[in-house]
A = this chain, B = another copy of it.
């Protein structure tokens, strides 16, 4: 099989895209009007300045302009705008490809000695600036984990699989499938993101409601630091002090480079079933989700779109004549004027799945919902990894689009949903442009759920990033004001770092800074990510930071 190429200035494969039917374009044009199409600069026209000198590194290293451009940033909205317009501000001075944990340690040691900043990089899909070279660092090295790949060992009795950090989602499942096993961790970035990246960013996947977040799946982890390997072996459970594996999960490269992890896998489910349900309102849908999570059995997938997202989803989905007529009929019923689409999926033994589906049916019927059958669920399953391609198509059509996510307790969720929508709308109004805000519950827990917002607006030439920033700032403030977490599964990166202190307290930030200083005394690991470059002032912040 020929190797597929990844886009250098947008999402995913060069030969893949997301269709935006006329109905969706009309939906957007009606609400947002027309914006300025974002220009696209050719790869060879991007000026990549010569690299700064680096010490000799004990692993394969490239200073080619192409490599440096393709490792300059991740996939955030500003990243992509800068790439497409040929305007990235910074480039790494080299990209290094270690082939073993020992090489990673050796590279980190050299970098620490020479004061070279190191950005560890798995699939490079960060949407929060987690792998973006930023101002303020001296010479910078991207440590690409592409060559640390594959299944290292499998303990079938314990259902534990050791994967090297650079292993991508499809490779994980391809290695496990023939053994009748799966990991089941399927974030939106599944095709391009890696085991190490999932752990570093505390990721969640489409099936995490049932399978658990990556937090729950890490049984053991190996971390390379400039001082050597830190190995936390696989353990089912322990009371030997705080769970340090959970400190590595979400550390975003600041405490070391994850080189290998022991993951909890499970038998492939015997049976799988799912369907789409239409519920009369956002609050009714929320009650269905809450009931399912609190009473059980818990579905593997729970996705509830709000009325606006449900509407946009309808506009995005071209159906053949008869099916479209049937859909219009159902959505035309008065009760479903603010109807919300709910996707549910169950996995397990045949009896178990059947019992779970029955229980769920009782819950959605109590809430006034009706089943739309399996078609919508199957379509989502088939198309879910294509959604991120939408951004590239819409940018070309003159519309900006970004997503952000949060989570809160059930009792705060309705207020949080309204507040984030309102704050984004107000920020757009103040800046003089329209905006559409869509939302869905993407992950549910016994005590709460996540909210995943998508916002769209008409682009103004050369103001794309400042438009986005105004909306993003408004949403971030509203989230923290209303009991939400600043990120449910995208991570902190550089983008959310300034908000971290409001969420985890001065003491929390001080604790993380202290830890980073202990494990990375030269402060070369991913500076500016997770913890802002400038320590937040305040009477209780720690003394001096190691960061440059």
Question: A238 to B202, Cβ gap below 8 A?
Answer: yes
Query: How many of chain A's residues touch chain B, expressed as a range?
Result: 35 or more
In the complex, whether A82 has a CB less than 8 A from a CB of chain B is: no
Question: A241 to B492, Cβ gap below 8 A?
Answer: yes
In the complex, whether A266 has a CB less than 8 A from a CB of chain B is: yes
Question: B408 to A239, Cβ gap below 8 A?
Answer: no
Question: A511 to B504, Cβ gap below 8 A?
Answer: no
- What is the CA–CA distance of A280 and B290 in the complex, to the nearest angstrom? 43
- What is the CA–CA distance of A202 and B504 in the complex, to the nearest angstrom? 21
- What is the CA–CA distance of A252 and B241 in the complex, to the nearest angstrom? 7
Q: Tell me the chain A residues, 148-171 only, with Cβ under 8 Å from chain B.
A: 155, 157-160
Question: B290 to A410, Cβ gap below 8 A?
Answer: no
Question: B240 to A450, Cβ gap below 8 A?
Answer: no
In the complex, whether A116 has a CB less than 8 A from a CB of chain B is: no
Question: A244 to B511, Cβ gap below 8 A?
Answer: yes
In the complex, whether A215 has a CB less than 8 A from a CB of chain B is: yes
- What is the CA–CA distance of A158 and B286 in the complex, to the nearest angstrom? 12
Count this chain's copies in the assembly.
2
Question: A155 to B241, Cβ gap below 8 A?
Answer: no
**Which residues of B are found within 8 Å of A202, using beta-carbon distances?**
238-239, 241-243
Question: A249 to B243, Cβ gap below 8 A?
Answer: yes
Question: B250 to A445, Cβ gap below 8 A?
Answer: no
Q: How far is the CB of A538 from chain B (nearest CB, A)?
A: 11
In the complex, whether A421 has a CB less than 8 A from a CB of chain B is: no
**Which residues of B are found within 8 Å of A244, using beta-carbon distances?**
504, 508, 511-512
**Which residues of B are found within 8 Å of A248, using beta-carbon distances?**
242
Question: A236 to B449, Cβ gap below 8 A?
Answer: yes
Q: Tell me the chain A residues, 231-287 only, with Cβ under 8 Å from chain B.
A: 231-244, 246-252, 255, 264, 266-267
- What is the CA–CA distance of A500 and B508 in the complex, to the nearest angstrom? 24
Question: A232 to B407, Cβ gap below 8 A?
Answer: no
- What is the CA–CA distance of A419 and B227 in the complex, to the nearest angstrom? 34
In the complex, whether A2 has a CB less than 8 A from a CB of chain B is: no
| Contact bitstring A514-538, B, C-beta under 8 A = 1, else 0 | 1101110000000000100000000
The segment from A65-73, A87-95, A389-397, A481-489 found at the interface with B is: A481-489
Interface residue from B230, B489, B530 paired with A241 (Cβ < 8 Å)? B530
User: Which residue on B lies nearest to A509, using beta carbons?
Assistant: B241
**Which residues of B are found within 8 Å of A428, using beta-carbon distances?**
none
User: Which residue on B lies nearest to A505, using beta carbons?
Assistant: B230
Known: A244-B511, A246-B242, A266-B294. A157 touches B203 (CB 8 A): no
Question: A409 to B155, Cβ gap below 8 A?
Answer: yes
In the complex, whether A219 has a CB less than 8 A from a CB of chain B is: yes
User: Which residue on B lies nearest to A256, using beta carbons?
Assistant: B507
In the complex, whether A3 has a CB less than 8 A from a CB of chain B is: no
User: Which residue on B lies nearest to A239, using beta carbons?
Assistant: B202
| Across the A-B interface, the 3 shortest Cβ-Cβ residue pairs | A236-B448, A238-B485, A158-B409
Residues of A bordering B, CB below 8 Å? 155, 157-160, 201-204, 213, 215, 219, 223, 225, 227-228, 230-244, 246-252, 255, 264, 266-267, 290, 294-297, 348-349, 351-352, 355, 359, 407-412, 443, 445-450, 483, 485-492, 496, 500, 503-505, 507-508, 510-512, 514-515, 517-519, 530, 540, 542
